[in-house]
Amino acid sequence: EVQLVESGGGLVQPGRSLKLSCLASGFTFSNYGMNWIRQAPGKGLEWVASISSSSSYIYYADTVKGRFTISRDNAKNTLYLQMTSLRSEDTALYYCAHLPYWGQGVMVTVSS
């Protein structure tokens, strides 16, 4: 059974940084691309970033380019999202996804 468990969320002040993790199990993590997707309160889903299996290809939404960094450690079956220069509009539930499988999400709140 595919399981994706996010962690690392919380309350952070604007301009600060936060790093999310996603521990994957139930499939051969190193063989698949992975994604981060978010949903702001009361809003729709927004794709954030994707990374290929070997990290050779990385893509970002324009809204986070230059501020967020997606990475992975295939030895640890873990996906990461390093978020810097956080803004109030980054407040959202962040999902790790190996489509069509999603984690439960982790909440990030950016507020002073």
Partner 1 sequence: DIQMTQSPSFLSASVGERVTLSCKASQNINKYLDWYQQKLGEAPKLLIYNTNNLHTGIPSRFSGSGSGTDYTLTISSLQPEDVATYFCLQRNSWPALTFGSGTKLEIK
Binding site for partner 1 (CB under 8 A): 4, 35, 37, 44-47, 50, 59, 61, 95, 99-105
* Closer residue to partner 1 in complex, CB, 59/84: 59
Q: What is the Cα–Cα distance from 91 to 10, expressed in whole angstroms?
A: 10
Q: How far is the CB of 111 from partner 1 (least distance, A)?
A: 23
Least separation in angstroms between residue 29's CB and partner 1 is: 17
Looking at beta carbons only, is 2 or 11 nearer to partner 1?
Answer: 2
Strand partners for 18 = 83
Chain centre to alpha carbon of residue 25: 16
3 state DSSP class of 110? strand
State which residue, 32 or 47, has the beta carbon closest to partner 1: 47
Contact 20, 94 (CB under 8 A): yes
